[in-house]
Structure formats: C-alpha cells, structure tokens
Amino acid sequence: MLNAKLALATNSEHQTVVKLSPAVAFGGRELVIIGGPCTVESQWQMETVATRLKAAPLQALRGGVYKPRTSPYSFQGLGIEGVEILSQVRSHYQIPVVTEVMSIAQIESIATSVDMLQVGSRNMQNFDLLKALGKVKKPVLLKRGLAATIEEFVMAAEYILSHGNSQVVLCERGIRSFDNYTRNVLDLGAVAALKQLTHLPVIVDPSHAVGKRELVTPLAKAAVAAGADGLIIECHPEPEKSVSDARQALSLEDMVKLVDSLRPLAAVVGREIVGSPNISHLAIAPR
Ligand code: PEP
Ligand code: MN
C-alpha cells in the first residue's frame, strides 16, 4: 500500500500493543472500552460518569475539552479548565483518560494530564499536528477522516510512526455517504482490512458512526464480531442535556447494559472484558 513502511504488518504474528496504564492495553486479548461524554461540561458530570462507569467496568474515560464544532458559534469546549477536570478525575478514580488535541499549541498542556491524545476526524490529515504527535511520548488515538480512504488513513498513522511515536491506535468512526438516516456509515470492512494490513490496534466509535443512541449497541456488537480491539462510546449522566452530540449519547445505565451485553460475544471471538461489574460503586456523587 502506497509507501507505508512502519504501519504495515510484515508478518501476521506481530501485533503492536499500546498501553494506557499498567492494567489497560489495546491490541491484546482484552477489549478496551472507553466511554464518556462528547464534551467535558463540569466536574460533577465527569465524576458521575467515573463513579458509575469505572465499575461497569470501563477501561478508560473520554471527554473533549477542545471541540471541533461545525459552527463557530457552538460551544468550543472548556479548554484548560476541562483539562484540570480530566486530570482530577483520572487521579481520583485511577482510570485513564482520553481527550482530543486540535493543534500543536495544545499538546504540551494536555499531554501531561491525560493518558491518550485523540486526533479527530477533521484533523486526520493535519500533517503538522501528526508530525508533532510523533515526537510525544503518549499513545495517540487516530480517528479516520470523514471521507478518508483506508490508504489515506494508514498514511496518516505512518506520519506519527515515522516521527518517532509507535503508540498509535486506529479508530473507525464512520464515513460520509449518500444516506443521511444515520449520521455516517460504519465501515466494518475497513476494520477487517486494517487488522490484516497493519499491526496497529483498531477500535470502533459506533456513536459518531450512527449518530442515534438506539443504534449504538448493535453496531458495537458488530464491531466486536468484526475483530475490533476496543470501542469508544459517548454517554452522559443526562443524555438529552449534552451540549454536543446529545442525540447519540447513551445514558449511564444503558452504557452499563451495553458492556454487559458484549461479554458473551467477546468470549465467542476469543476476547474478554476485564473485571466484573461492581455494583457497590454505583452510588452517584452529590451535585
Ligand atoms: C468526538 O470524538 O467527539 C469527535 C468529535 O469525533 P470525530 O472526530 O470522530 O467526529
Ligand atoms: Mn462527539
């Protein structure tokens, strides 16, 4: 494929494992499930998510603090205040956190406070950003561009790898097509292809792919069946009140149910979800 050198699988045995913490790694037998709101809105919101979902169990939390919004008039994220919320939740709940970085200037302040840097779809071919992330010693979650070919996606990963960072996880999040009933079209063929073509872990974001909460669970299951190494899913303590992507946000109860429903399926495809649900953790933090 084109002139990718570092991203391609040279033999079927070699699989890169990307560690988020001593206990959480992408690319092994375990499925990594990341959950949380589209946008970090408040300390209460993130603590509620962590309290309810660490026990689900989720392996990592997500939440955007710099948001790539279609309209410049929409809420753009809490910025550095949001980074502080993520950092507190991460240390208090001992759970890894993932957030999006939109520009080179944001890397330094975010990288020390989180466990994984997300490159959003709209930045998949921001080559200067990719080069800069190649120099960072943090795992990168690279999301597929809205209309990127598989080849362009692999070459974007190659930018990060060739600038020195081998800790890259690919994320299929749906691509644009003619139908607008769903927000995008989840390309599970790409998941299977990327697993064969590259040695990098591949995860799936069914939330942005489908855009409707009632369709997230079936697509999450399909992703696991297709060989995904993990999932990233949007959920919120009060889904209808989400400042962004409300229509696709699961309630925390539905997120717990989703994780549970994946267990038997994971076992069928030789994977597992580490940890058993711990209901003693289910008390919600006061607002
Ligand atoms: C997100 O994860 O909230 C996001 C903006 O995703 P994407 O870049 O895939 O649209
Ligand atoms: Mn979102």
Per-residue pLDDT tens digits for 203-253: 999 999 999 999 999 999 999 999 999 999 999 999 999 999 999 999 999
What are the structure tokens assigned to 108, written together?
Answer: 């330094």
- Which amino acid makes up residue 260? D
User: Which residues are 121's β-sheet partners?
Assistant: none
Among protein residues, the one with the nearest Cα to ligand 1's atom 10 is 121
User: How far, in Å, are 29, 192, 198, 269 from residue 12 at the CA level?
Assistant: 15, 13, 9, 17
Per-residue confidence band for 286, with pLDDT thresholds at 50, 70 and 90: low
- Name the band, by pLDDT with cuts 50, 70 and 90, for residue 280: very low
| pTM: predicted TM-score of the whole model, two decimal places | 0.96
Q: Is the pLDDT assigned to residue 20 strictly greater than 60?
A: yes
Give residue 276's pLDDT: 67
- Window from 20-24, 62-66, 252-256, 282-286 with minimum mean pLDDT: 282-286
Residue 266 above 50 pLDDT? yes
Is the bond preceding residue 57 a cis peptide, omega within 30 degrees? yes
Considering every ligand atom, which ligand is closest to the CA of 242?
2
Cα distance between residue 58 and residue 20, in whole Å: 13
Q: Which residue has the tokens 């809105």?
A: 41
**Cα distance between residue 15 and residue 259, in whole Å:** 25
Q: Give the torsion through C-alpha atoms of 103, 108, 110, 114, to 10 deg.
A: 130
Average pLDDT for the chain: 95
Given a cut of 80, whether residue 126 has pLDDT beyond it is yes
Two structure tokens written together for 233: 């899913």
Alpha carbon separation from 205 to 43, 79, 108 (Å, rounded): 24, 23, 26
Q: Which amino acid is at 8?
A: L
Location of structure tokens 């409300």 = 246
Nearest CA to ligand 1 atom 6: 120
Task: Give the 3-state secondary structure of residue 202.
Answer: strand
Q: Answer left, alpha or beta for residue 187, where phi above 0 means left and psi between -120 and 50 means alpha.
A: beta
Atom of ligand 1 minimally distant from the CA of 123? 8
- Residues 117 and 21: their CA atoms lie apart, in Å, by 14
Residues 32-268: name the CATH superfamily. Answer: Aldolase class I (3.20.20.70)
Q: Which two tokens mark 235?
A: 């959920």
The whole-number average pLDDT for the span 105-129 is 98
CA of 67 to the centre of ligand 2 (A): 8
Which of 114, 169, 182, 205, when mutated, tests ligand 1's pocket best, judged by the most ligand atoms within 8 Å of its CB? 205
Å from CA of 273 to ligand 1 middle: 24
167 DSSP 8-state letter: -
Domain layout of the chain by residue ranges: 32-268
